[in-house]
Amino acid sequence: MSETNFNTKTVHFQTKEPSRNASKAKPIYQTSAFVFTDLDDMESFYEGEKEYLYSRYSNPNTDDLGKGIALLEDAEDGVATSSGMSAILAGILAVANQGDHIIASDDLYGGTYQLFAQELLNFGIDTSFVSFEKIENVKNAITEKTVLIYTESVTNPLLRVENLEQVINLAKEASIKTMIDNTFATPYLLQPTKIGADLVVHSATKYIGGHSDVTAGVLVGTQELIAIAKSKVITLGCNLSPFEAWLACRGLKTLSVRMERQSQNAQALADALSTHSGVARVYYPKFVSEKGNGAMVSIDLAENVNVETFFASLGWVKIAPTLAGVETTVSYPLRTSHRTIPEKLRSELGIGKQLVRISVGIEDEKDIIKAFTDAIEKA
């Protein structure tokens, strides 16, 4: 470099990739592309000897996240994407084409509902929404065009636990693929691929990342379907940035300890609120897994509790339209995640004006309980 001039030096000052011992933390490959020494070297990418060419195709940090979740879910392969929504889209497009039909649960994350009800419909993919509480409803909705059954393992915000085995078995008999949104349960509690789900999707924005500092998604499943999904991610540009992938991977390392504490705290809060006169109903799963029942608790405040005053009286508990961080937060589904769900469907589902969704964090159990009982008493 010393023989070059200033402008060239400004661009090429960095030392070569180190051949010294590996760093303890994974480096961030914050690069849009990878370089080659000669044309034969570049050819080696196309022959499958070199892994990386261009970060929209793949990158060591995004691969870490996709393959890491695949490992935890016991799936053959995985791909990381720019958000939970793009992971869902990539998964659907790996299975469904124009003219195909999908059966989805009527109790879904608002954005997913909108994807099915509006965007996919525009592409000629039609979705029937049915209640998965009775397997008969799912069975009766199957047509010869049905290619996919889609549901969440633990639903949002009413925290119903789906009988996934029943759904997956029904789909297998009819040669239909299944895709499960496992965001609320996380692979710590449930691994739907182990019981035969073809695709499992996560909003890694939630428990995988765990610190509310990254928006990311992951799709895992069979080699065959993930290969198709990867090509969709590449062409549609749904790829995740290396830094976001790195952050999500850092969060993932503590998934077990976070979920353990958060589930314990959630169980304690659900128990405490279930006997409180200011709470009409507590929604908390009876059984998700031996390791716990998750960290989300929803409640219907009693009719005489003023919702506005309740939200304004929560002290250190922040109102946030997301979930799963290490901090306890609350949200109001009616005016956030479920705003776009038609009024009629919303009331049928039981998402009313007294419904509060609580994402329980890692704080001290007694402080969490006190924050909520104080707010209810004030309201």
Which residues contribute to the site for ligand PLP (CB under 6 A)?
Answer: 83-85, 109, 111-112, 152, 156, 181, 183-184, 203, 205-206, 215, 217
- Min dist CB 153 to ligand PLP, Å, is 9
Q: Which is nearer to ligand PLP, 323 or 375 (CB)?
A: 323
Least Å from the CB of residue 295 to ligand PLP: 12
CB of 379 to ligand PLP, least distance (A): 26
Name which of 85 and 161 has its Cβ closer to ligand PLP.
85
Smallest distance, ligand PLP to C-beta of residue 152, A: 5
C-beta closer to ligand PLP: residue 55 or 215: 215
Angle between helices 242-252 and 60-73 (to 10 degrees): 30
- For ligand PLP, which is the closer residue by CB, 105 or 146? 105
User: Nearest Cα to 307, choosing from 269, 333, 344?
Assistant: 333
Closest approach of ligand PLP to the CB of residue 46, in Å: 33
Q: Tell me the C-alpha distance between 93 and 226, whole Å.
A: 11
Q: Which of 187, 179, 191 is nearest to 207 (CA)?
A: 187
Which residue lies nearer to ligand PLP by CB, 183 or 262?
183
The residues facing 301 across adjacent strands are 279
What single DSSP character describes residue 340? T
Q: If you ran DSSP here, which 8-state letter would residue 154 be given?
A: B
Residue among 96 and 219 whose Cβ is closer to ligand PLP: 219
Q: Using the CB atoms, write b or e for 239-252: b if 16+ within 10 Å.
A: bbbbebbbbbbbbb
Q: How far apart are alpha carbons 361 and 365 in whole angstroms?
A: 9
Measured CA angle at 375 (ends 378, 302), to 5 deg: 80
The residue number whose beta carbon is nearest to ligand PLP equals: 84
> Is 193 exposed, middle or buried (CB count within 10 Å of its CB: 0-12, 13-18, 19+)?
buried
Nearest approach in angstroms of CB 22 to ligand PLP is: 31
Following DSSP, what letter does each residue of 15-80 receive, concatenated? PPPP-SSPPSSPPP---SB---SSHHHHHHHHTTSS--SBTTT--HHHHHHHHHHHHHHT-SEEEE
33 φ, ψ (degrees, to nearest 5): -150, 170
Minimal distance, residue 329 CB to ligand PLP, in Å: 13
Residue 205 C-beta: closest distance to ligand PLP, Å: 4
Nearest residue (CB) to ligand PLP, 62 versus 203? 203
Question: In what helix (H) or strand (E) does residue 281 lie, and over which residues does it extend?
Answer: strand 279-283
Select from 285, 222, 216, 295 the least CA-distant residue to 257.
295
The tokens for 122 are: 């525009």
Cβ nearer to ligand PLP, comparing 29 with 207: 207
- Select 177 or 357, whichever has its Cβ closest to ligand PLP: 357
Nearest residue (CB) to ligand PLP, 87 versus 379? 87
Least Å distance, CB 266 to ligand PLP, is 16
Return the beta strands (E) in 111-170 as ranges. Answer: 126-130, 146-152
Residue 331: CB minimum distance to ligand PLP, A: 10
